């Protein structure tokens, strides 16, 4: 039995609760040629959600801007989905990314098709075309947007089924994980330090303390946004700890500090004495530069920043990273994220337990960390091979050297 709400006037719509716990409302949107009322039903998890939809629909009916579902194009519906359903439930950067997918990849091909007419084959052809020029990951991201919009349309009973659920997606081939060896890390950091110091000597307000960022990520495994969002107040020099509670992201019109990627990304990690000493040395250098610059310095309390205290532009950060790789003679196809991989793999090679690595990286579980990083470096494999070679096969020791062709080893019993 439905629990009915207080009745409204004629044409004002009604709200009720269904047996399955959802709330619904029905609005009279007009009349057909025979004078029969045309009604639209809306659904929601709460009474307030449904009431808001009802009031919006009534306003559109009153102002004669209400559009019959059958008349929506997919482009019109995806705009409604983005602005009315997703804007307040997504991170700003994610919403902007969705909007970009809609504008550049979805609307040009599917935007003019009627919502009720869109077919799986049309979506499939779009994916096939995009796969010729884009990665499988990009195509799957486009699908995430299309599927979300159509799934909402299905829930609203605007379409009989979600056509995006019937398409085949390209296999998401994971990029090969690349890491630096211990020696390559040394070369990389030396090159970064040299370039940073040269940049600081110049009278360039845009010069950045890049070396410190690289040093930190290779010692902690932090993400790029977390590194760029670090402030001095996040470091407890007495306890030797670092708190991660924000990240810096690029949004339209500037920068924004947001919550870290996941709840578990809010974390406190220990710092070694070497890292603490390096940070103290760097803080002294930053303070010295700040006093030289004077009033134009912007005190944002940022650890990794430009010479005048401003946040580091993420794209400039990546550009500098590629420049350091080139200058150091290292593999230029490495991504910045591979420094995070390097931290995890080198930590594992030193015998640091998976739980500790997981907490430092901010992963949701040790199992996930094992899945991503539970492989060996070439050095670790070589070391294992050397150890195994002496486990079962042992060299024969003779006073005289063996004759040509003689077997030089024996299987131990």
Query: What is the reported pLDDT for 175?
Result: 66
CA distances from 307 to 135, 214, 235, 286 (A): 37, 16, 20, 8
Residue 42's closest CA among 58, 26, 55?
Answer: 26
The domain over range 182-380 is classified in CATH as 3.40.50.300: no
Burial of 363 (0-12, 13-18, 19+ CB in 10 A): buried
Same fold, 74-156 and 182-380: no
pTM: 0.60
* 349/176 Cα distance (integer angstroms): 19
- Residue 65: what pLDDT? 67
Tokens 């602005």 locate to: 83
Cα distance between residue 22 and residue 197, in whole Å: 62
Helix axes 337-349, 182-201, angle to 10 degrees: 140
Question: How far does CA 309 lie from the centroid of its chain?
Answer: 26
The CATH architecture one would assign to domain 74-156 is Orthogonal Bundle (1.10)
Say what the pLDDT of residue 122 is. Answer: 94
Q: What is the pLDDT of residue 211?
A: 93
d(C-alpha 8, C-alpha 2), whole Å: 16
- Assign 306 to helix, strand or coil: strand
Q: Which residues contact 8 (CB under 8 A, 6 or more apart)?
A: 14
pLDDT digits (tens, 9 = 90+) for 191-204: 999 998 888 887 66
Residue 57: left (phi > 0), alpha (psi -120 to 50), or beta? Answer: alpha
Q: Look at residue 407 in the predicted model and tell me its pLDDT.
A: 38
Cα–Cα distance, 249 to 190 (Å, whole number): 28
Residue spans of the domains in the chain: they are 15-63, 74-156, 182-380
Q: Residue 287 has which token pair?
A: 């303070």
Helix axes 210-220, 337-349, angle to 10 degrees: 40
Asked if residues 152 and 85 have their Cβ atoms less than 8 Å apart, the reply is yes
Strand 254-258 vs strand 37-44: parallel, antiparallel, or unpaired?
Answer: unpaired
CA distance 110 to 102: 10
For the record, the structure tokens of 307 come out as 């010479």
Which positions ≥6 away from 175 have C-beta within 8 Å? 335
What is the C-alpha separation between 339 and 347, in angstroms, rounded?
Answer: 12
Task: Determine the length of the chain.
Answer: 413
Q: What is the C-alpha to C-alpha distance for residues 49 and 235, in angstroms, rounded to an integer?
A: 43
| 23 DSSP assignment | E
- In 3D space, the residue among 221, 163, 217, 211 whose CA is nearest the CA of residue 191 turns out to be 211
Low-confidence ranges of the chain (pLDDT < 50): 1-11, 376, 388-389, 391, 393-396, 398, 401-413
If 0-12 CB within 10 Å is exposed, 13-18 middle and 19+ buried, where does residue 173 land?
exposed
Integer Cα distance of 201 and 393 in angstroms: 59
Contact present, 234 and 243 (Cβ < 8 Å): yes
């Amino acid at each position: 039995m439905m629990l009915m709400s207080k009745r409204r006037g004629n044409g004002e719509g009604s709200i009720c609760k269904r047996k399955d716990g959802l709330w619904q409302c029905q609005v009279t949107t007009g009349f057909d040629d025979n004078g029969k009322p045309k009604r639209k039903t809306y659904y929601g998890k709460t009474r307030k959600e449904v009431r808001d939809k009802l009031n919006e629909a009534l306003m559109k009916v009153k102002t004669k801007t209400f559009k019959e579902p059958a008349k929506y194009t997919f482009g019109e519906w995806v705009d409604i989905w983005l602005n009315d359903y997703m804007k307040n439930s997504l991170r700003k950067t994610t919403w902007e990314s969705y909007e970009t997918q809609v504008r550049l990849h979805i609307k040009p091909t599917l935007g003019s098709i009627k919502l009720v007419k869109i077919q799986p084959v049309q979506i499939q052809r779009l994916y096939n075309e995009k796969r010729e020029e884009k990665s499988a990951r990009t195509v799957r991201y486009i699908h995430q947007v299309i599927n979300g919009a159509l799934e909402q349309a299905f829930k609203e009973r605007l379409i009989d089924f979600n056509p995006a659920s019937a398409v085949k997606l390209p296999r998401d081939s994971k990029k090969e994980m690349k890491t630096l060896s211990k020696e390559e890390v040394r070369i990389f950091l030396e090159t970064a330090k040299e370039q940073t110091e040269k940049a600081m000597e110049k009278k360039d307000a845009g010069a950045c303390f890049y070396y410190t960022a690289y040093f930190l990520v290779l010692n902690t495994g932090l993400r790029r946004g977390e590194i760029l969002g670090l402030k001095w107040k996040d470091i407890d020099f007495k306890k030797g700890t670092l708190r991660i509670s924000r990240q810096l992201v690029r949004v339209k019109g500037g920068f924004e500090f947001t919550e870290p990627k996941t709840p578990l990304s809010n974390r406190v990690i220990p710092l070694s004495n070497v890292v603490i000493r390096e940070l103290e040395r760097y803080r002294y250098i930053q303070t010295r530069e700040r006093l030289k610059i004077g009033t134009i310095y912007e005190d944002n309390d940022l650890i990794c920043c430009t010479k005048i205290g401003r946040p580091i532009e993420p794209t400039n950060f990546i550009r500098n990273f590629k420049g350091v790789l080139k200058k150091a003679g290292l593999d230029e196809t490495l991504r910045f994220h591979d420094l995070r991989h390097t931290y995890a793999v080198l930590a594992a090679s030193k015998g640091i337990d998976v739980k500790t690595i997981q907490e430092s990286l901010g992963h949701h579980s040790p199992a996930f960390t094992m899945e991503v990083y539970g492989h060996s470096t070439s050095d670790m494999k070589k070391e294992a091979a050397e150890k195994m070679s002496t486990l079962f096969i042992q060299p024969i020791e003779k006073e005289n050297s063996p004759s040509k062709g003689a077997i030089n080893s024996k299987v131990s019993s």
